[in-house]
Structure 1
Amino acid sequence: MSKRTLFQFFHWYSPGDGHLWNEVAEKAPYLSQIGITDVWLPPAYKGASGASSVGYDTYDLFDLGEFDQKGSVTTKYGVKAAFENACRALVDHGLRPIHDVVLNHKMGADEKESVIVRRVNSEDRTQIEDDDLKALAYTRFTFPGRAGKYSEFIWDKQCFSGVDVIEQPDEAGVFRLMNEYGEGQWNDEVDDELGNFDYLMGADVEFRNNAVYEELKYWGRWFSEQVPVAGFRLDAAKHIPAWFFKDWVGHMRDAVGTDLFVVAEYWHPDMTTLTNYLELVDKQLMLFDVALHHRFHDASKAGGEFDMRTIFDGSLVSSIPDHAVTLVDNHDTQPLQSLEATVEPWFKPLAYALILLREHGTPCVFYPDLYGAEYSDKAVDGSQQTVNMPAITCLSKLVEARKRFGNGPQSEHFDDARVIGFVRHGTEREPGCVVVMSNGGEGQISVDLGLGHSSTSFVDFLGHREGEITTDDSGRADFPTNGGSVSVWVRQDAL
């Protein structure tokens, strides 16, 4: 299945009622019908905040909603049996489950330990004090609710490279744990933001500890025996040494399947940085196109002042398309979240057309954009805000258009700063389409489709424009679009 379309089946504020796994099973038939091929599921294991955990505060990787830990048996998304059923439902409808993997840190330790740490300059992590400091830290994970089922591994201070809170003395900051790994230095092959971005949060996992390394490989094999696994989304790749994921992904492909789909969250817009990272991991995985997301954000804010001819400038999909997962928004960029850079609703149909219908890149559709979302949370200024993310009414049709008409070679019509378009020319057996959009007023592009399309009627599959466009004897026509809108023109006989 070469034409892959991902769907992120959650957002940061997905209702915490233990119902999400059931919803996955319920919606699987519809998602398959419109053309989704892969479903990215949230972290399935118990987080430190129990039933309210989105899943990125990893506590116990082996608790998939089965044990009474952190105040509940269920995770935010449901119990293990419902998770298993959701994954089976996806597979039964031809959809591939993509699982979110959070290996960088652990939170919610069960016991404190006596540790030796060194204070670290939080703005430059390469500046580590020379003096040892004796303290207490929450670094011992015994998982009493699970009582050794599936794994008897105990995580302790030898399994971590740093923490952000100590006691006796009581301090918060960044602290390098002094143990037998790394000679007091952070891991290399991580992002160089803040000097060295190994440390992110919680108890930071020490991948140089071979026992830890083997436990994480074992967990990957165990997990793939619990539920169907078609791939992984790897969290916090900036903070995990590239050599670890290079080995771990290779191991998982050997153990589970060579065709595993893997995309890493290396949240960086710079192509040199991303290219270097791909080299370090032997190009075994995909990366999210952060730069393109920010172009969409900027374009949606600037309106008609944005030059649409530059929309792909600096993007991953334009430079390394085979490794680009394109997106419009996700759970980190949505309103009130840490990387908030929301794409305005008026521009989202244009942005989705640009990732779903073009020849290159693997597009990812975000849950609130398909189904809508409403939630409340505290803003940066401390005020409580209610956010309404409206469903994009034409998004299901755009996904369907990708499945039906996103075929064949591509030619671009990026000649105007406001009105741009492209043609998918189809194949002998599969129809193509003409896509035209404007971030300003009403406009059109003139396209010569060739004699094979002479005197042919086209209609807007999205229904944004009424009526038909008919090509002349040579296969040429002017294809229009409304202002601030997008149209997908397809042969009427292809419907």
Structure 2
Amino acid sequence: MKKINIIFVFLLGILLFSCSKDNSNETQNPPGDGSGTQQPQPEPEEPKAIDLSAYDNGNGVMMQAFYWDVEPRFEWWDNLAEKVPGWAEAGINRIWLPPASKGQSGGYSMGYDPSDYYDFGNYFQHETTETRFGSREELENLIQTAHNNDIEVIADIVINHNSGGGLEYNPYRGYETYTLFDEEHGNASGMFNRNYEDFYPNSVSQYDPGSLFYAETNLDHHREHVQDWLWKKDNSVAKYYKNVMGFDGWRFDYVLGYEPWVVKDWLDEVGGFSVAELWDGNANILANYVEETGSRVFDFAEFYRLEEGLDRNHDLNSFKGGALWKTYPEKAVTFTANHDTEKDPNQDNFISAENKMKAYAFILTHPGYPTIFYSDYENTSFQDEIKNLIKIHNSIATGSLEVLYVDDDEYVMKRNGTGTNPGLILYISISNSTKRRSVSSNWKNVTLMDYSDHSTYHPTSDENGAVTIEAPANGYTIWSITE
């Protein structure tokens, strides 16, 4: 009996040793490795971004290529010419230049005090030959450089008021006014000479239907002489700018100062891209102007909704308000800043630096034609982010729009895409903490990523397209599919 027990114990020991050895090998040596050394397990693969360049949606972005009192004086055209190739690469397809002709302030003029419409820095008057921006030759080089890079050039046209003429007795006002423009008085080119009969009031028009801004030198567009020289004659301002200088379109300054038919007649005569500065936050007034003129209009209504929501009221419900892009998306030129808003001390007329990128994220994902302000783009703190937003705008910011959620501190919007273009979802938050929200997407069983690079979260939608996305504190994210 003792011998049998010893044999039993011996066999049991062999069996236990064999089992222990198998378990040890399974732990120490993963399949396919005979080294006997523990190998690191592969990390889960990061989702791969889609190639946005493969989704060119035909959109573009305009650059406002100046700010108030640009420096250095006499070098601005050359400065812009150097930047044009980089802007083209970033997705800019138009640049809006400041008024290019000689103003009363000469070498200090920003062009909004027009004196000689045909002096682009090639006549000596108002104590300078070059304009603040440079010479005519430098301007022509800039325009050609832009065209070589497939960028259109937009002329800022100031046709409400004139400045810098000579004194003459004005019988309709009963005193002397600065309304004499000829070769010796602020119009060295000798083209579009004018006198008091071309301004309000005169022998035909007894009152000024527009604003009283520069009332004594407010041009009367009902006069045939004025119409001929501004847009009708072969060498009119409009046709000279287009056919000789090479401008591709118009930014109409201060259209509150003259009737809408002026812009319509101008465009009927010469065509080209156009956008009007109708400074009014009422979306219905902007829409009426579009209908009367056929021109695009700066979407001041949307600008004020952004300012109210992000700055003044800190309530994103403001985004529900009226905006031109909601009724005429193809005619709305959206923006977050311009030369006037940035120099205006009124806090209700500009969007603060801390909120500006959220405003750019809004206009560069929504319908409308966005404008980038030079000073923002050239700000090293903003430039890379704006470039990325332009890339998103020109690729996946397309299709019908659907607001998925909005409250005081969150706004979620979906662009539905078109065809094979997946579209996007924008999530803006002004909360002090990270937010997450479940929304309905168009993407089923797909892993998403944030193309704004503000989140490393990679949610996956379910079989119905439901997905939970997030936005960082006081920031934004832009979601779309991955490969």
Q: State the TM-score bracket (shorter-chain normalisation).
A: 0.7 to 0.9
Q: Which amino acid aligns with 1:480?
A: E
Q: TM-score, structure 1 length as denominator?
A: 0.79
How many Å apart are 1:59 and its aligned residue? 0.8
Q: Secondary structure at the match of 2:376?
A: helix
20-29 vs 39-48, which moves further: 20-29
Out of 444, 448, 461, the position equivalent to 2:440 is 448
How many Å apart are 1:369 and its aligned residue? 1.4
d(CA) in 1 for partners of 2:135 and 2:81? Answer: 14
2:242 aligns to what?
A: 224
How many Å apart are 1:448 and its aligned residue? 3.0
Q: Percent identity?
A: 25
Report if the CA contact (8 A) 1:84-1:226 is conserved: no
Write out aligned runs for 1:4-15 (5 A): 4-15=60-71
d(CA) in 2 for partners of 1:270 and 1:472? Answer: 42
Change (3 A) 1:262 1:207: same
Confirm or deny that 1:318 pairs with 2:374: no
**1:139-187: per-residue Cα shift (whole Å, max 9, x none)?**
11113499865x54421111111xxxxxxxxxxxxxxx4x3121x2223
Greater helix proportion: 2
* Contiguous gaps of at least 5 residues in structure 1: 119-133, 162-176, 191-196, 254-259, 374-389
Report if the CA contact (8 A) 2:263-2:295 is conserved: no
Change (3 A) 1:29 1:410: same
433-442 vs 47-56, which moves further: 433-442
d(CA) in 2 for partners of 1:108 and 1:66? Answer: 17
Out of 388, 392, 410, the position equivalent to 1:401 is 392
Q: Which amino acid aligns with 1:32?
A: A
d(CA) in 1 for partners of 2:359 and 2:216? Answer: 36
Report if the CA contact (8 A) 1:59-1:108 is conserved: yes
Write out aligned runs for 1:302-451 (5 A): 302=312, 306-336=314-344, 341-358=349-366, 360-372=367-379, 391=382, 394-441=385-432, 442-450=434-442
How many Å apart are 1:423 and its aligned residue? 2.0
Report if the CA contact (8 A) 2:68-2:340 is conserved: yes
Change (3 A) 1:226 1:334: same
Q: Secondary structure at the match of 1:297?
A: helix
**1:453-477: per-residue Cα shift (whole Å, max 9, x none)?**
41x3322222211243333344432
Change (3 A) 1:475 1:319: closer
Q: Which amino acid aligns with 1:157?
A: Y
Q: Secondary structure at the match of 1:468?
A: coil
1:114 aligns to what?
A: 169
How many Å apart are 1:444 and its aligned residue? 2.5
Change (3 A) 1:152 1:90: closer
Report if the CA contact (8 A) 2:310-2:316 is conserved: no
2:261 aligns to what?
A: 243
d(CA) in 2 for partners of 1:53 and 1:330? Answer: 17
d(CA) in 2 for partners of 1:225 and 1:27? Answer: 25
Between 1 and 2, higher relative CO (CA 8 Å, sep ≥ 6) is seen in 2
Confirm or deny that 1:71 pairs with 2:127: yes
How many Å apart are 1:321 and its aligned residue? 2.7
1:185 aligns to what?
A: 207
1:491 aligns to what?
A: 481
d(CA) in 2 for partners of 1:298 and 1:267? Answer: 16
Report if the CA contact (8 A) 1:404-1:431 is conserved: no
Confirm or deny that 1:39 pairs with 2:47: no
Out of 270, 275, 278, the position equivalent to 1:266 is 278
Report if the CA contact (8 A) 1:10-1:367 is conserved: yes
**1:366-403: per-residue Cα shift (whole Å, max 9, x none)?**
11111139xxxxxxxxxxxxxxxx64652221111111
* Contiguous gaps of at least 5 residues in structure 2: 1-56
Write out aligned runs for 1:455-474 (5 A): 456-474=446-464
Q: Secondary structure at the match of 1:112?
A: strand
d(CA) in 1 for partners of 2:411 and 2:113? Answer: 43
Change (3 A) 1:44 1:483: same
Q: Secondary structure at the match of 2:267?
A: helix
How many Å apart are 1:69 and its aligned residue? 1.4
Report if the CA contact (8 A) 1:334-1:340 is conserved: no
Q: Secondary structure at the match of 2:330?
A: helix
How many Å apart are 1:328 and its aligned residue? 0.9
Greater strand proportion: 1
RMSD: 2.4
d(CA) in 2 for partners of 1:233 and 1:139? Answer: 25
Confirm or deny that 1:299 pairs with 2:339: no
d(CA) in 2 for partners of 1:340 and 1:16? Answer: 29
d(CA) in 1 for partners of 2:440 and 2:191? Answer: 67
1:158 aligns to what?
A: 197
Confirm or deny that 1:30 pairs with 2:86: yes
How many Å apart are 1:408 and its aligned residue? 2.8
Report if the CA contact (8 A) 1:356-1:398 is conserved: yes
Change (3 A) 1:348 1:117: same
How many Å apart are 1:7 and its aligned residue? 1.2
d(CA) in 1 for partners of 2:301 and 2:373? Answer: 17
2:25 aligns to what?
A: none
d(CA) in 2 for partners of 1:21 and 1:30? Answer: 15
Report if the CA contact (8 A) 2:116-2:186 is conserved: no
Report if the CA contact (8 A) 2:308-2:315 is conserved: no
How many Å apart are 1:2 and its aligned residue? 4.9
1:211 aligns to what?
A: 225
Change (3 A) 1:136 1:348: same
Q: Secondary structure at the match of 1:310?
A: helix
d(CA) in 2 for partners of 1:331 and 1:340? Answer: 15
